[in-house]
Amino acid sequence: MNRRVVLWISIAVLCIYIGIALAAPLIAPSGPTAITGKPLEPPGAGHLFGTNDVGQDIFAQLVFGARITLLFGFFSASLSVLISTSVGIAIGYYGGIVDEVVSRAIDVFMPIPVFPLLIVLTTFFSPGIIQISILMGVLGSIHGIRIIRSQVLSVAQTYFVEGARAIGASDVHIMSRHILPNVMPLVMAKFVSSSQHLLVMGVGLSFIGIWDTTTVDWGTMIQNAYSSGGMALGLWWWILPPGIAVVGISLALAMIGYSFEEQFNPRVGVNRL
Amino acid sequence: MIHNGDFQRPAGPLLSVTGLRVRFPTRPEECVRAVDRVDLAIACGEHVALIGESGCGKTVLGLAVMGLLPVNAKTRGEIRFRDCDLRAMDEPALQRIRGKEIAMVMQNSANSLNPVMKVGRQIAEPLRVHNILPATEAQDEAVRLLAAMGFADPAQAAERYPHEFSGGMRERILVAIALSARPDLVIADEPTSGLDAVVKAQILRLIKDQMAERTLLLITHDLGTAGYLCNRLVVMYAGEIVEEGPTDELLAMPRHPYTQGLLASLPSSGFHPIPGMSPSAADLPAGCRFFPRCCCVKEQCRQNHPPLIPIGHNRKVRCHRYD
Amino acid sequence: MPVISSRYLIRRLGYSGVSFLVCVTLTFFLLHLMPGDYITNYLLWLANKVPKEAVDQFYQQFGLNLPLTDQYILYIVNILHGQWGYSYAYGLPVFSMIVEKLCWSLVLLLPSTVFGILVGTAIGAWSGWRSGSRRDLAVFNIMIVFRAIPEFWWAIMAVMVFSFYLRWFPLGGYSSISILSAGLSIPDVLYHAILPILLMTFFIATGNYYVMRSSMIEVIGEDYITTARAKGLDEQSVLWRHALKNALLPMVTLTTFQCAAIIMGNVFIETVFSWPGIGYMTTEALRLRDLPLLEGIFLLDSLLTIGAMLLADILVTVIDPRIRMGTDE
C-alpha cells in the first residue's frame, strides 16, 4: 500500500465528510429530528440507514450530527493550536522572565488531569457545545505550549534571527516572518493530531452525556442506541452508522497526521531503500 | 578458522581489497557511488593512511572491511583478510573476526559509547564476547588498558559512565576498546576529530605507541595526522584512489593535482584552497573526476577517465599527465 | 548511584504541592459558588425532616457559617484528613464511595495495565528492532488503525460480536443473576471481567507499542550500536546488552503516567460494560449532576497524576546515569 495513495485517500475522505456536513440541509431536507417513518425500520426505501426507536431517519441524523461533531473537533483543535503556537512563540522568542513565569505556571498546571476537570466544570456551568469546545481548546493547549516552545528555542538561536534583528526588524516581524514558518510543520502536525484526538473525545464525551442529550450528534446517537438495548435486539443499523462514521474520520485524520510526522521525523516511518 | 598467532607471518598482504565498489541506491534510477573500483593492499606491520575530504568514500571503505555497512548498501568486489574472503563469510564468521582480528577505533561522537553502561565493562566486552578471558580477568585487563591509555586512576575510571569524561578521554576509551582483544589490524576512523590541538597531539602520540606492533589503516582528512602516524599514504577523491605512495616521497613530491592542492591548502603552505567543490557521488562526471577543479588540464581529461598509473616501484597516480 | 540533590527534590515536591493546591482551590470555589450549600443540596431529598443535630453537625464539619477564608482553610484540612464531603445524590461520604469503587476498578485495571505494558513494550521493541521490514510495517500499520478506532467503539463492537452474536461472554455487569440466590461468586465475577480486561490490555498495549518502537528506532541509529557491532557482538547481544536498556528509558516516564492515568478507571469501558468502578460512577454522577462526587474523583485523579509525574522524574534520575538532578540547575 503506497503511502502517497493512502494519504490522498485520507484527504479525500476528509473532504467528503466536510462536504456532507456542509450540505446537510440539501441531502436530508427533513432535518434530524423529524419523525419520518415507523420506529425501528431497517434500511430500505426512503431511509438509507433505517429509523431509530421514535421513527427518526438515521441517515438524516448522521449528516446533521456530522456538523456538530466535526465542528467540535476542528474548532477546539484550532483554538488549542492557536493558543499554544502564539504563547509558545512568544515565550520562546522573548525568553527571560516571561519565559520563566509562564514555564513555571505550565509546570504547575500540566499535571492537572483534563478529563475529570472538564466533567467537573461542565457540571458546574452546564454549558453548551461551543463553551465546552472552548474549554477543551484552552485546556488542551497547555501541553502543546511546551512542544512549540522548544522548537522555537532551537530556531531562535540560529543566526538568521540575529541577522534579522541586526537590520532592525521588529519583534513581531521576526516572530511572524521568520520563526512561524519554521515552526509551521510542527504546528500543522499538531493541528491534525489534535483534531483527531479532540473529535474522538468529543464523541466520547457526548456518549457519556456531557452536554444536552437531546442534541443530535454521533455520540448521543450511539448512546441512545446502546442504552435502549439496540444491540440486544439486533438492530444493527441503529448503532453502526454513527460508530463507523467516527472510525472513518478518525482513521483519515490519523493517516494524514502520520504522513506529517513522517516528513518531520523520517526515522519513525519506513526505511524505504 | 583463523586463529590469532597460529599462522606464520604470511608472505602476502594482511588485507587485500580488490575492485571494491559500494553503491547506495537512492531512487530507482539513481545511486550514490561511494566507493568505485578501489584496490588496496596492506602488508603486515604497515601503517597506511586513507586521505580525502568528507564524502570521498573513505569511511565507507573502512565500514565495508568490517562488514558494517547499512543494509541498503550494494557491494561488489573482493575483500580478503589473511587470504580469506570476508565477503563470502556469513555473519557469525564475521562476528568472530570483528573486534578480535580486525578492530575499529570509532569516530568520537557524543554517542559512540553506550551511555548507560560503565566504561570498564565496555572495554572488557570484546574480551568477553570472544571468550578470551573470564569476567573478573577481563575487568582487570580493562583497568590495565585504561592505565596504558594514560588514565590517572584507572580503577575508578572503569566504574564511571561515558558522559563523565571529556572528548579526549572518550577517544582514549575508544582506543582501549579497539585494542582490548589484541587485534592484528586496527582501522582508525578520524581519531582526532573535534579535539583541540593539545589533546590531539596526546592522542596521536598514544596511537603511534600502541600501533608499533600492529597494522594500522588510518582514515582521515588531516594530512598532518597521516604524515605523523603512517608510512604509506593513499589519497582518495570522489570514491576512487587518485594517488598512492610512501609518506615522505608523496609529501615531498606530490604528483596528482589534487594532492598538490591538498598540500597547498595547509596553513603552513599559505592556505590556498582548491577552487570548486567535490562532485556529488550521485552524479559523477564522465572523464577525470577532478577535471572541473584541476589547474593543469589536458584535452583528454574531460572525456577520458584516467587509469591508475604506476610510477617507479611504489607510487601510483591517476592522472593523464603521467600517461 | 547518582545522588538526588535534596534541594531539587524539595523544589519538585513544592511544585507538586502547588499543583494540588490549585486543584483543591478550584474545587472549593466551584463548590461554594454552586447555588445552595450542603444543607439544601444534600438533604434535599429528606424534604424538611432534617433533625437539628444533623444540621449542626454539618455546620461544624464544613464551617458553613464561617467567613470564606476560614472555610477555605477548613476545606483544605478536611481534604487532607480524608473528609471529602458528601455526595449530593447518594448521601454517602465521597471518600469512602471512591475507595469502594476504586477496588472494583482495580479488578480490571491491574491485570490490564501489567499485561498491556508488557505486551506493548515487547512488541514495540521487536518492531523497532526490525523497523522497515515487512513484518514491522504490517504491525505498525495495524496498530495505527487500531489506535484510530475510539475506545468506546471497540468496547461496543466487542460486546456486540462476542457477547451478543457469539454468546461467548456476558453482556455486561459484574455478576449474573445467581448473585441473588448464591451471593457473590469470584469465578463469575472474573468471567464478567475477561472481555473488559482484554480490551483495556489491548488499548494500553497500542500506546506502549508506539512509544517503544520510536524509542528503539532512535537507539538503533546511535553510534554506540555500531561500536558494539564492531566489537564482534552478535545481533542478539547488541539488542539485549546495548539497545534495550537505552530504549526503555523513555518508557519509564510513559509507564508511570499510564499507571496513574489508568488508575482512575476507564470511563468508557466501564460504562459500556456496566462495570461498577470509578469510571461508571463518573458517568452516573455526571448524569445526576453530583458535584462533590465528581470533585472527589477529580481530586483523586489530580493526586495520582501529580504523584506520577514526580515519581517519573525521580525514577528517570535513578535509572539514567546521564541525568543528575540538581547539579545542572
Task: Give the residue with greater pLDDT, C60 vs A116.
Answer: A116
Residue B159: closest C-alpha in chain C: C1
- Name residue, grid cell 500500500: A1
Residues in chain B: 323
Contact A52, A238 (CB under 8 A): yes
pLDDT for B297 equals 81
What phi-psi label fits residue B73: left (phi over 0), alpha (psi between -120 and 50 degrees) or beta? beta
* Antiparallel, parallel or unpaired: β B15-25 and B31-42: antiparallel
**Are the beta carbons of B24 and A273 separated by less than 8 Å?**
yes
User: How far apart, in whole angstroms, are the C-alpha atoms of residue B289 and residue B306?
Assistant: 9
The span from the CA of A159 to the CA of C7, in Å, is: 36
Closest residue in A to C161 (Cα–Cα): A231
Instruction: Output C2 or A101, whichever has higher pLDDT.
Output: A101
Give CA B211 to chain center in angstroms.
14
Instruction: Tell me which residues of chain A, numbers 87 to 146, contact chain C at a CB-CB cutoff of 8 Å.
Output: 104, 107-113, 115-117, 119-124, 126
Cross-strand bridge partners of residue B315: B311
φ/ψ region of B67 (left if φ > 0, alpha if ψ in -120 to 50, else beta) reads: left
Give the residue carrying C-alpha cell 565507507.
Answer: B60
Cell representation of residue A170: 521588529
With an 8 Å Cβ cutoff, are A196 and C298 in contact? no
Lowest mean pLDDT, pick from A110-119, A167-176, C155-164: A167-176
Residue of B nearest to C218 (CA): B111
pLDDT in tens, B286-321: 888 888 888 888 888 888 888 888 888 889 998 888
Go through C185-203 and write b for each residue having 16 or more CB atoms within 10 A of its CB, e for each that does not. eeebbeebbebbbbbbbbb
Q: How far is A267 from chain B (nearest CA, A)?
A: 14
Which pTM does this prediction carry?
Answer: 0.82
Residues B299, A214: Cα–Cα separation, whole Å: 87
| A271 neighbourhood in chain B, CB within 8 Å | 71-72
SS in 3 state form for C251-263?
A: HHHHHHHHHHHHH
**Contact, A219 vs A205, CB < 8 A?**
yes
| Residues with pLDDT less than 50, chain C | 1-2, 325-329
B107, B110, B111, B116: CA torsion to nearest 10? 130
- Of residues B96, B117, B174, nearest to C232 (C-beta): B96
CB contact under 8 A, B114 and C246: yes
Of all residues in chain A, the percent with pLDDT exceeding 90 is 20
pLDDT by residue (tens digit) across A80-94? Answer: 999 999 998 888 887
Q: How many CB pairs under 8 A join A and B?
A: 6
- Give Cα separations from A118 to A213, B156, B170, B237, B283 (angstroms): 17, 54, 52, 65, 59
Chains touching chain B at 3 or more Cβ pairs under 8 angstroms?
A, C
Residue C115 near residue C201, CB atoms below 8 Å: yes
Residue A31 confidence (pLDDT): 78
Report percent pLDDT > 70 for chain B: 97
Interchain contact, B114 vs C321, CB within 8 Å:
no
How do beta strands B47-51 and B232-237 pair? parallel
Cell numbers that stand for C244 in this block: 534495550
Q: How confident is the model at residue B136 (pLDDT cuts 50, 70, 90)?
A: very high
Helix (H) or strand (E) holding B74: strand B74-81
* Among the ranges given (A235-244, B174-183, C94-103), the one the predictor scored with the smallest mean pLDDT: A235-244
pLDDT tens-place string over residues B230-262: 999 999 988 889 999 999 999 888 888 889 888
What is the average pLDDT score of chain C? Answer: 82
Backbone angles phi, psi at A212, to 5 degrees: -50, 115
Which pLDDT band holds residue A270 (cuts at 50, 70, 90)? very low
* Percent helix / strand / coil, chain A, rounded to 5: 75, 0, 25
Q: Which residue of B has its CA nearest to C322?
A: B163
- Give chain B positions within 8 Å (CB) of A273: 24-26, 72
Contact B68 C230 (CB under 8 A): yes
The answer to whether the CB of B66 falls within 8 A of the CB of B98 is yes
Closest CA to C306 of C6, C4, C23: C23
Residues of C with Cβ-Cβ distance to A234 under 8 angstroms: 164
Q: How close does chain A come to B277, measured CA to CA in Å? A: 24
List own/partner pairs for B195-204 with CB under 8 A and 24 or more apart: B195/B108, B195/B167, B195/B168, B195/B171, B199/B166, B199/B167, B199/B168, B199/B171, B200/B225, B202/B150, B202/B168, B203/B168, B203/B171, B203/B172, B203/B175, B204/B228, B204/B229
- Which has more pLDDT, B48 or A26? B48
Nearest to B296 by CA among B244, B261, B262: B261
Please give, rounded to a whole number of angstroms, the shortest distance from the CA of A168 to a CA of chain C: 34
From the CA of C223, how many Å to the nearest CA of chain B? Answer: 5
Model confidence at A251: pLDDT above 70:
yes
Which pLDDT score is estimated for C49? 60
